[in-house]
C-alpha cells in the first residue's frame, strides 16, 4: 500500500498578524480540552503514513474531531509545544487553533473500538509529536489520569456526533483533507487561507 504523506499537507502556520509580541505563558500540563464540538468517523480506501508519532502507523480509518481548547496551549512557539493526545494516540492537528481556540484534528483509530465517552483528550508535556511512542503516550495518559482529567460527557459526545453527521468514506488522504478544510472555515475562520490551501486541486488536476 502506497503511503500518502498527509502530514506534508498539514504544516501548521499562522499569519504574523495573529501572533502577539510576547507569547502567552505556557499553561501547565497535563491540561484538558474545553469541549468536543464535532465528531465524525471516516474510512479510507487508500491509507497514508501517520507522521505524528514515531511508529508512523498507516491510517485507514479514524475520527475527525473539532475541539475547543485554551488558545495558549496551541500558540505556535519556537520551542516544543504541548502534545495533543486522544486515547492511545497522538492527534494530527490540521490547523493551528490560535487565536480561535478551535482545533480540527484527525484521530487514527479503529472506528468500531473507539468510544468517545471513555476516551481521555488532553495536552501533555511539551514535545515534538513525531518523537512520541506508545510508551510516551502511556506515560502521559497516566499523568492525565492522576491529574483528574475525564472523558467528555455523554451529552457532549451526543451533540458532537449529531454535528458530525453520517460516517465519511473517501478514497485517500487528499479527499479527506478536502472534507476537513470546510471545518476550519466554520470553526476557525481566521485560518480560512489554510483551508483554501487544503482545497487546492491536485497537480494532475491542474494539468487537465
**What would the pLDDT profile of 147-206 be if each residue is shown by its tens digit?**
999 999 999 999 999 999 999 999 999 999 999 999 999 999 999 999 999 999 977 655
**What is the percent of the chain with per-residue pLDDT over 90, rounded to a whole number?**
84
| CA–CA separation, 198 and 177 (whole Å) | 6
R_g of the chain, CA atoms, integer Å: 16
Q: Residues 109-116: what's their mean pLDDT?
A: 98
CB–CB of 73/82 below 8 Å? yes
Whole-prediction pTM value? Answer: 0.90
10 Å CB burial of residue 175 (0-12, 13-18, 19+) is middle
pLDDT at 12 over 80: no
> 3 vs 18, which has greater pLDDT?
18
Strand 35-49 relative to strand 168-170: parallel, antiparallel, unpaired? parallel
What are residue 78's phi and psi, to 5 degrees? -85, 0
Parse the chain into domains and list their residue ranges.
Answer: 6-10+25-194
Residue whose grid cell is 508512523: 56
Amino acid at each position: 500500500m502506497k503511503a500518502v504523506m498527509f502530514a506534508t499537507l498539514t504544516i501548521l502556520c499562522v499569519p504574523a498578524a495573529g501572533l502577539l509580541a510576547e507569547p502567552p505563558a505556557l499553561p501547565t500540563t497535563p491540561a484538558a480540552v474545553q469541549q468536543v464540538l464535532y465528531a465524525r468517523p471516516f474510512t479510507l480506501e487508500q491509507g497514508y503514513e501517520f507522521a505524528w508519532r514515531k511508529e508512523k502507523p498507516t491510517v485507514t480509518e479514524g475520527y475527525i474531531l473539532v475541539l475547543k481548547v485554551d488558545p495558549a496551549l496551541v500558540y505556535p512557539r519556537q520551542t516544543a509545544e504541548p502534545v495533543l493526545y486522544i486515547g492511545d494516540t497522538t492527534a494530527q492537528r490540521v490547523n493551528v487553533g490560535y487565536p480561535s481556540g478551535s482545533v480540527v484534528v484527525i484521530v487514527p483509530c479503529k472506528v468500531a473500538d473507539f468510544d468517545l465517552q471513555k476516551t481521555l483528550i488532553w495536552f501533555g508535556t511539551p514535545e515534538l509529536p513525531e518523537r512520541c511512542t506508545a510508551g510516551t503516550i502511556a506515560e502521559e495518559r497516566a499523568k492525565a489520569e492522576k491529574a483528574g482529567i475525564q472523558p467528555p460527557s455523554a451529552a457532549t459526545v451526543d451533540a458532537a456526533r449529531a454535528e458530525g453527521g453520517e460516517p465519511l468514506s473517501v478514497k485517500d488522504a487528499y479527499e479527506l483533507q478536502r472534507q476537513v478544510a470546510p471545518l476550519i472555515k466554520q470553526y476557525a475562520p481566521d485560518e480560512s487561507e489554510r483551508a483554501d490551501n487544503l482545497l487546492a486541486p491536485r497537480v494532475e488536476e491542474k494539468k487537465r
